[in-house]
Amino acid sequence: MVLKTEKFMINAGPQHPSTHGVFRMRFTLDGEVIQDVELVFGYLHRGIEKLAEGLTYTQDIVFTDRLDYLASMTNNQAYVVSVEKLAGIQVPERAEYIRVIMSELMRISSHLMAVGFLLNDLGAFLTPLLYMYREREKILDLFDMVCGQRLTYNYMRIGGLSQDIPEEFLPALKKFIDSLPRFIDEYDQLLAQNEIMLVRTKNVGILSRESAINNSTAGPVLRGSGVKWDIRKADPYSVYDRFNFEVPIGNIGDIYDRYRVRIEEMLQSISILKQAIEQLPQGEIQAKVPRSFRPPKGEAYGHIEGPKGELGFYLVSDGSVNPYRLHIRPPSLLNLTVLRELLIGVKIADAMAIFGSIDICVGEVDR
Amino acid sequence: MTLALPATAIVSKLEAELSGSIVESSDNTITVKDEFLFKVASFLRTTPGLDFDYLNFVTAVDYQAYFEVIYNLISLEHNHGLIMKTRCNNREKPELPSVISLWRGADFQEREIYDLFGIVFTGHPNLKRIFLWEGFKGYPLRKDFKQ
């Protein structure tokens, strides 16, 4: 007897525990195997690029906090770096060092979330994630100390910072980075030798080197596929050329490699933090910038290595107080380009793991 | 460090290969005629020594008289970059060839430009609105957009 079969559609999202926000995937399935997937965006589209055109350059910093809300400090930095490039502003050294400290803390925090949620998606429900939250909480406390905010910092300014770090910050930071490597090691040992974790991540969701490049992926996704590309090395901004650090890369580009890259990057960030604390100079934290800030006519593209990949701002100035055009290069959106290719032909049970390993933030996808 | 490849070197190569394709050029930017866009793009992608294998971003700007579409190309192998621009003069029916067959990474970005500027990329396999809903009137990032 021949059984009649037919393809069917299944929806994941926009409200789904594994979509990390309001993001939707429409699967076409043949039994358990994914035949096709359509990605549906726009549930969190706020039109930030349009809104930015009506506000001044300084006011736009507030909006950058709301892009990737798990990494607001690096968003702040990418934006101010671009504006400074546009206007040719030299930032005081102390401010550059403090920016590096904040960005690296943010990178650790974002990677903790990425790894925690990946495990959540793999079925290790909540327990590992809450350990990650515990460590992230300490980073948020540090940020709170600096600028009084836990998520939307609005800390950096064009030409510097809104305020210097308080006295108690450095001792607290040192205490934190002394404790963190032990935690990461312990955690990594628990997971990297876990049979279930290995079976579900090794050789699953393989992204080839060529495909990673052709699909404009960036950050840990690109590096997981073995491409040594990090803006901090390729085009050093701020004071990154003064630190010693490695760029970890993966071998074959499976979920495990992307996980591994994030773990290694956290350890590298700790090393950068240690060097930055040691070298931190005294002095000013804000360059002279006029109250009514008007950059000269022209355009500039500034970029940094954000936790999720290259984050850049393309700015066009017409000489007025508002940007004529502000475009954001969103790593989360561009990393999703490759998702369809990765998902076709795999079993539905692996879909969420592959998706989780890309690590997106919908605030940045939809903008 | 990402070298801004001096545009003059590329311009002379392009003029030899595709004469009349360049409108203007400055430090690290070339502006190409829209009918040559795809040919120039595939030349930059495939010529040994240039090897622009990575499309960093695509975006557009509405200068009212025309739309400008900006492609940031990078070669991961040689670590150099270039900004390629093109202009779209027809405001009523702006059209450009899609570069998706050269760089898959253009997929969502071209859809985004279509969504917010109304520029049609011919040859794009799935050109529909990405953030706004089907049936939305107008293109918000155009300067003459009224809410």
Read off the pLDDT of residues A208-238 as tens digits, 9 standing for 90 and up: 999 999 999 999 999 999 998 888 888 888 8
Task: Give the distance from residue B15's alpha carbon to the nearest chain A alpha carbon, in angstroms.
Answer: 26
Instruction: Kindly tell me the sign of the dihedral angle through the C-alpha atoms of A246, A248, A249, A251.
Output: positive
Classify burial at A206, counting beta carbons within 10 Å of its beta carbon; exposed 0-12, middle 13-18, buried 19 or more.
middle
Chain A residues whose CB is inside 8 A of the B83 CB are: 301
**CB within 8 Å: B62 and A45:** no
Chain A residue with CA closest to B133: the answer is A42
- Put simply, the chain B residues between 76 and 105 with a CB less than 8 A from any chain A CB are 76, 79, 83, 103-105
In a 3-state reduction of DSSP, which class is residue B101? Answer: coil
Chain A residues whose CB is inside 8 A of the B106 CB are: 216
Closest CA to A239 of A145, A74, A99: A99
Mutate to test the interface with B, among A44, A209, A334, A341 (most CBs of B within 10 A): A334
Q: What is the pLDDT of residue B4?
A: 60
Banded pLDDT at B58 (limits 50, 70, 90) = very high
Separation of alpha carbons B37 and B43, rounded Å: 10
Q: What is the pLDDT of residue A17?
A: 65
Separation of alpha carbons A313 and A327, rounded Å: 6
Chain B residues whose CB is inside 8 A of the A337 CB are: 104-105, 107-108
Yes or no: say if A82 and A312 are a contact pair by the CB < 8 Å rule.
yes
A41 touches chain B (CB under 8 A): yes
Q: What is the pLDDT of residue A142?
A: 92
Banded pLDDT at B82 (limits 50, 70, 90) = confident
Beta strands at B3-4 and B80-88: parallel, antiparallel or unpaired = parallel
Q: Which CATH architecture does the domain made up of B3-122 adopt?
A: 2-Layer Sandwich (3.30)
List the single residue in A47, A214, A229 with the smallest CB-CB distance to B104: A214
B84 is written with which tokens? 């390629």
What is each CA distance from A133 to A88, A114, A137, A220, B126, in whole angstroms?
39, 11, 6, 21, 39
Mutate to test the interface with A, among B62, B84, B104 (most CBs of A within 10 A): B104
- Put simply, the chain A residues between 313 and 352 with a CB less than 8 A from any chain B CB are 314, 316, 324-325, 327, 329, 333-334, 336-338, 341
Cβ count near B48 (within 10 Å): 5
**CB within 8 Å: A325 and B76:** no
Q: What is the pLDDT of residue B60?
A: 92
List the single residue in B62, B83, B104 with the smallest CB-CB distance to A215: B104
Separation of alpha carbons B113 and B70, rounded Å: 11
Read off the pLDDT of residues A86-145 as tens digits, 9 standing for 90 and up: 888 989 999 999 999 999 999 999 999 888 888 888 877 778 888 888 889 999 999 999
Banded pLDDT at A18 (limits 50, 70, 90) = low
Chain A residues whose CB is inside 8 A of the B55 CB are: 216
Mean pLDDT across the stretch A16-41?
Answer: 84
pTM of the model: 0.89
B29 touches chain A (CB under 8 A): no
List the single residue in A216, A234, A324 with the smallest CB-CB distance to B105: A216
**CB within 8 Å: B105 and A334:** yes
Mean pLDDT across the stretch B39-55?
Answer: 86
Closest CA to A281 of A92, A102, A106, A143: A92
Banded pLDDT at B1 (limits 50, 70, 90) = very low
B57 touches chain A (CB under 8 A): yes
pLDDT above 70 coverage of chain B, percent: 95
B61 touches chain A (CB under 8 A): yes
A8 touches chain B (CB under 8 A): no
A105 is written with which tokens? 């803390």
Read off the pLDDT of residues A143-176 as tens digits, 9 standing for 90 and up: 999 988 888 898 999 988 988 899 899 999 999 9
CA angle in degrees (0–180, nearest 5) for A274-A244-A98: 45
Every domain of chain A and the residues it spans: 45-366
pLDDT above 70 coverage of chain A, percent: 99
Average pLDDT, whole number, for chain B? 85
Average pLDDT, whole number, for chain A? 88
Q: Which fold has domain A45-366?
A: Cytochrome-c3 Hydrogenase; chain B (1.10.645)
Task: Give the distance from residue A41's alpha carbon to the nearest chain B alpha carbon, in angstroms.
Answer: 6
Centroid of chain to Cα A312: 12
